A = this chain, B = another copy of it.
């Protein structure tokens, strides 16, 4: 772990613990540099991490202030249902309901950077939290990763982790579109809700470290089961609102 990550971690713990309550000022960079025997640049990298997490805010000329005190665990949490559930203290399970190869649609070819008509693997999964069905996941995997996906246990808890362990695949980047839609008849049957009831939809495309698209997915959460949370500031945040499509 890098020095600046250690410092960030230490400061984060102090904030979460309440040493620096919301609204309080953080020590100055100079003081932190002295305290940790590090250069000011290193301290700046540390607090930049906290700022990116939305825990602290800063303005030129004034001391940094604490904005929040809940820690969040970033990408892995957003991407892997199982990892997120585990860290929240839930027991996650899931079932593959269908899995078949087919030629990709033109839209999928664009999203996964494939040649038109190239083969993909379409998987329908139902995910549960503590036994309750909360998520219908319709995922399309690029052909080159399909064999590894097909080898997975249909009841496999964490696809992300299994793919990492079996073929060393790492999900590194993702784009996510979030909106609300009405449950279709299949959604309603699987989630145990009425047709037309509200669902939170997350459409995502994920790529590996080299920027090569791996999968795109349409995930539908039962209303009330999950909430997406974001902290942001005037300087740099990736969440934007888009017109309906």
The residue from B88, B175, B182, B224 contacting A179, defined by CB atoms under 8 A apart? B224
Question: A192 in the interface, Cβ–Cβ < 8 Å?
Answer: no
Contacting pair B229 A175 (CB below 8 A) = yes
The residue from B52, B201, B223 contacting A182, defined by CB atoms under 8 A apart? B223
Q: Per-position contact with B for A154-180: 1 when CB-CB < 8 Å, else 0?
A: 000000000000000011111111111
Contacting pair A179 B227 (CB below 8 A) = yes
CA distance A133 to B90 in the complex (A): 39
Given known A-B contacts A197-B198, A224-B179, A72 and B229 have beta carbons under 8 A apart: no
Q: In the assembly, how many copies of this chain are there? A: 2
Contacting pair A232 B197 (CB below 8 A) = no
CA distance A199 to B54 in the complex (A): 27
The residue from B170, B177, B232 contacting A176, defined by CB atoms under 8 A apart? B232
Contacting pair B75 A178 (CB below 8 A) = no
Contacting pair B177 A180 (CB below 8 A) = no
Residue of B nearest to A129 (CB): B243
Question: A67 in the interface, Cβ–Cβ < 8 Å?
Answer: yes
Contacting pair B244 A226 (CB below 8 A) = yes
Contacting pair B230 A238 (CB below 8 A) = yes
CA distance A62 to B67 in the complex (A): 36
Residue of B nearest to A56 (CB): B211
Contacting pair A242 B229 (CB below 8 A) = yes
- Which among A65, A174, A197, A229 has the greatest number of chain B C-beta atoms within 10 A? A229
Q: Per-position contact with B for A178-203: 1 when CB-CB < 8 Å, else 0?
A: 11111000000000000011111100
Q: Which residues of B contact A234 (CB under 8 A)?
A: 75-76, 170-173
